[in-house]
Amino acid sequence: MKALVTGCAGFIGSHLTESLLADGHEVLGVDCFNDNYERRVKAANLAVAHEWESFELVPLDLARGALEELVDGCDVIFHLAAEPGVRSSWGTRFEQYLRNNVLATQQLLEAVKPTPSTRVVYASTSSVYGHAETLPTREDALPRPFSPYGVTKLAAEELCQLYWGNHGVETVALRYFSVYGPRQRPDMAFNRFCRAALRREPLTVFGDGDQTRDFTHVTDIVRATRAAGETPRVAGGIYNIGGGSAVSVNEALMLLEGFVGRQLDVSYGDCVHGDVRHTGADTTLAATNLGYAPRQSFSMGLLSEFEWMCDQEALGGRRALRVVG
């Protein structure tokens, strides 16, 4: 199989790329290396992928269009490229969310339109639900985004449905719930918390910490994403992908205190505009149609991210020593 992975240098995209390569597939990776965090971090995410001869990286801005040559010959497209994050989607940066989430998706779908049997797996988000009226939330719940980010992701999801309904493009949308694990983006909570815990620095929680999330480990996300790309007769579907448990931020902090063996210096601030109180995924449909069931427990999943951060901090220390030397 030849797979196109957009956003291949990102948190989830790099894990997906490695999984496909390890199973003998050819991967064409695309990333525009946007400025939401340091390019060197994204480049490091691809270190393992570059060891495979079956991997090719194309630095490309999808929103510029003319993507027919890019998608030609691909059996499946995993569209993970996006402008991420709830907090930064307000104000002047919103134009980037429109460009990288909506326009880029439309351009990709246009390129696939002449070959509609090419499966397109779109990485959507639980942010499309906003303050869900029922928990766990099913896919037929009314989407009510509570952030500009959620609005743009829902718009791109609707584009996938339009191209499926009008042109037969085999799209599948996955609504990811709070993904965590090694390589998590630097702005995300567990990355910040693990780093602060190791450095003995104070950390700030937005809100009272009792908000809960259906945290989903990146390895479960990769399995679900691959299933969406490879399972027959699921085109046009929308699926929740969750981790199977409701965990509060304070509970996660207690686990981190156990990992480091001491109390953390935690302060609490105002809630962030766009954040919701609770999320929870009803994954019945994904279990039925994709064979999906989360495997990673939250405690062991958080430990995997903490141990990865330990390695990153050790590597950073060695770099500093080389610079000083």
Q: Which residues are catalytic?
A: 149
Q: Which residue has the tokens 């149609």?
A: 289
CA gap 179, 80 in Å, rounded: 13
Q: Which residues pair with 212 in a beta bridge?
A: 248, 278
Amino acid at 65: G
Question: What's the number of CA atoms in the CB half-sphere (13 Å) around residue 156?
Answer: 36
CA gap 118, 132 in Å, rounded: 33
134 touches 141 (CB < 8 A): yes
With residue 45 as reference, give the H or E element that holds it: helix 39-45
Token pair belonging to 103? 């326009």
Token pair belonging to 207? 């809100």
- CB count within 10 Å of CB 130 equals 20
Tell me which residue of 76, 81, 74, 87 sits closest to 34, measured CA to CA.
81
CA gap 300, 243 in Å, rounded: 12
Listed in order, strand segments (DSSP E) in the chain are 2-6, 26-31, 55-59, 76-79, 119-125, 171-176, 179-180, 203-206, 212-213, 216-217, 238-241, 247-248, 266-269
